[in-house]
Amino acid sequence: MSKKRVTVATTVGLACGVLASVTEVYGFKHPLPPSLLTSIVLGRTVLGFIIGISAWRTSWWWHGMALGVVLNLPLALEVKWAGTQAFVGALLGGLVFGFVIELVTSVGFKAPVSLS
């Protein structure tokens, strides 16, 4: 595990979380509870951290997308059980953010999963 990889992935996850929460605020006409916005930021930050510590040896793009979907599955199920139609959107959000975090980490900052 590389300290650079964990730091970059977690930081990019945090940035993605802030971006996601800001777009949620402006996407709705009614105010969202602070707990939801905090959950969005923490969820993306944790996604980045787990991508950073994961030693799964696969292609970088598959690594990010797979972890993004798996880690967003509880959110997607919660949304489904709440009766909304955002199940697929929640999974796609995880897929996209996982891909972006891994892209920036592995390709942009050249901190891929260590093979040693």
| Structure confidence by residue, pLDDT tens digits, 68-89 | 999 999 888 887 887 777 889 8
**What pLDDT is recorded for position 116?**
60
pLDDT band at 5 (very low <50, low <70, confident <90, very high): very high
Please state the separation of Cα 18 from the chain's center in Å. 11
Averaged pLDDT for residues 52-74: 94
pLDDT band at 102 (very low <50, low <70, confident <90, very high): very high
**What pLDDT is recorded for position 26?**
85
Q: What percent of the chain has pLDDT over 90?
A: 61
Predicted TM-score (pTM) of this structure: 0.91
